[in-house]
Amino acid sequence: MTPDELISGHLDHTLDDVGLAAFDSWLAADRAHQVRFCQAVLAHQHLRQRGFAAAHATSSRRYLRLRPPARAPRRWWAGLAATAAAALLMTMVGWWVYGPASDEAPVLVRAESTAVMRSDGLQRMVGDRLLPGDELTTGAGSAYLRYHDGTEVVLAAGSRARVLPPAVGKRLHLDYGDLDAQVAKQPPGRPLVISTATAAITVLGTTLRVASTADETRVSVSTGLVTVTRGNDTVPVPAGSFVVAAAATPLVARPQQMAIGAVLAVGVGQRYASISDLPALAPGDVVELHPGRHRGGWKLPQGGTALRPLIIRGIRGSDGERPLLSGDGLVLDGVGATARAVLQLHGTNVVVEHLTISGGRNGRNAAGIRCVDAQAITIRDCRIHDCDQGIDAVADRIVILDNDIGPCGNAANDGYCHLLHLGGGAATVRGNHLHDATHGQAVMSGNRSLVLEANRITGAADGEISLLDPGHERSVTLSGNLLIGQPRGRGNRIRTIDIHGASAGDLRLEHNTLVAAEPAVVFLLGAGSAMRVRAEDNIFTGSRQIVGEDLMVSGRGNQLPADALVPPRFTDNLIAPAADAGFVDAARGDYRLRPAAAGAGRVPSRSSSRLQPAIAPGPGSTARNDDDDPGAFPRLHR
């Protein structure tokens, strides 16, 4: 439709949903379009007063010069009233387009996976100005708001906020989640006020982050100064500081790196000689394990809150080594009060970081770290080795980040000991080196939602990844992983990724490198599975068997061996020369692509993860960020 048709349809109320969406997009695209629309509104109003059809307002300029048909003389004041009405309308329209009222109302500049609802239940679009009562709810993406004075607000994923009436200045309410704000200097007496369930934050011009739940609010200030009010208490929060507003917690501004709760040091020469000497822990506490060996079998029932996590932290020694939490010589059978892991977590909102954990054995399935019906657990920068299993977690919202896990396994429980044995709700596994699953798989998951990103997976005796059936729909994403197989001549069918059960769901594979150690390997197995598999921009090498059984797989832009059995729904494939996928030196673990390789330099326009695990990672290795090194991330352009 032309702009004239869109404007006429809007004024005549004849646009359908598609037309309304097209009109909204056209109007938001350029301020000149908004001015043109305002002029059309005035012309429309003028012609209605003279009795012409509304469509004449925009179909041609010549209609604006038509005289009305002969009729009884108008009263002397009719023309003056029409002129006054038009002037008033022009003033109101000019105020909307150019006026200072826009200072208090943000514009929705960008919205990814976001619903923006008006108070009347209709939905606003990108480019719309948000009005009091409008509510933003973000899903997996974020929303970006901008005010007339340059103030910018980004609402993070998993958040909800509302625009409040601007009694004096700008007003936002954060129901839950996180937002970042870069606030321009506000006029005297007209601040930006961000309210939550537990606090009000008054901002005159600064950069800050606000995180909120139903019970607490955390405000972190990067530049400038804000004031935070909770009930009758008010505290200034300068740059480099934060404050937490929660019941039974003093409203005090603290330096960014300062713990909210107590810091409890454990080790030789510290206040607490051993873990068993610790008192009951509270939200916000930090347990510091100092260099040396600490006795494991630690069963921890306490936890933290979303904004005041309980932190278990290793303090590195002068040689850079992490402290050791050991289960050697302990009974870890999980009977009664005994743990079945070197560290066993039962609470919520717990962070475990910078530890070496070993000796989690009971002859069957003890673990380095075990999570039992836990929630919001983060395990990062830990070295876990010589256990029956690395991490055994039935948890929701577990994040496993930048760890080195392996070797782990137990011959007496062959095929059932895994580096990661996960289940429950959502799990994110990112930037880890998972290696040497001596009697099991690297990752066994029964999660409802699983994200594997930028991991280096090698040396799995029984397969790299196995997806169990959780009994309902599931969502799995593998992005930027390097999966290197090893010869396996026993037991289960030879596979890289195995999908179990009849439950449906989505499996998305993007920018992964899958290296089979022998031609008998099938990269994707899933007999009878109803999962929908989408594979884009991956490298498959070492076996011609891409998909087995009747798995529903589609894909495009994948690099395949020259003799591959190409799945019927694979399109735009990149075929590598025989026996050469183009790696720099696969024999020595360097799976970057040579400059002359078929897939090198073929970067798609859309963005993707650029994390890359180290080429030859040792104990404690972490992911490497190198924009010029595609490595496990073949970016094949279609």
Q: In terms of pTM, does the model score above 0.85?
A: no
Bond from prior residue into 407 cis (ω within 30 degrees of 0): yes
pLDDT band at residue 45 under the 50/70/90 scheme: low
Share of the chain above pLDDT 90, in %: 58
The Cα–Cα gap between 455 and 300 comes to 28
Convert the pLDDT of each residue in 435-493 to its tens digit: 999 999 999 999 999 999 888 899 999 889 999 999 999 999 998 888 999 887 665 56
In this predicted structure, the answer to whether residue 576 has a pLDDT above a threshold of 90 is no
Question: Average per-residue pLDDT in the chain?
Answer: 83
Task: Identify the three-state secondary structure at position 565.
Answer: strand
Q: What is the number of other CB atoms lying within 10 angstroms of the CB of residue 350?
A: 25
Which amino acid would we find at residue 94? G
In this predicted structure, the answer to whether residue 591 has a pLDDT above a threshold of 70 is yes
pLDDT for res 567: 92
pLDDT band at residue 5 under the 50/70/90 scheme: confident
pLDDT for res 515: 92
Convert the pLDDT of each residue in 91-138 to its tens digit: 444 444 333 444 588 999 999 888 999 888 889 999 999 999 999 999
Exposed (0-12), middle (13-18) or buried (19+): which is 303, by Cβ within 10 Å?
Answer: buried
Task: Identify the three-state secondary structure at position 616.
Answer: coil
pLDDT for res 76: 41
Q: Which of 17-26, 33-42, 305-314, 597-606 has the lowest mean pLDDT?
A: 597-606
Convert the pLDDT of each residue in 50-83 to its tens digit: 343 333 333 332 222 333 334 444 444 444 444 4
In this predicted structure, the answer to whether residue 344 has a pLDDT above a threshold of 70 is yes
pLDDT band at residue 21 under the 50/70/90 scheme: confident
Q: What is the number of other CB atoms lying within 10 angstroms of the CB of residue 224?
A: 17
pLDDT band at residue 10 under the 50/70/90 scheme: confident
Which amino acid would we find at residue 615? I
pLDDT for res 555: 92
Sign of CA dihedral 11, 13, 17, 19: negative
Tokens of 411: 């011959």
Tokens of 119: 């108070």
pLDDT for res 12: 67
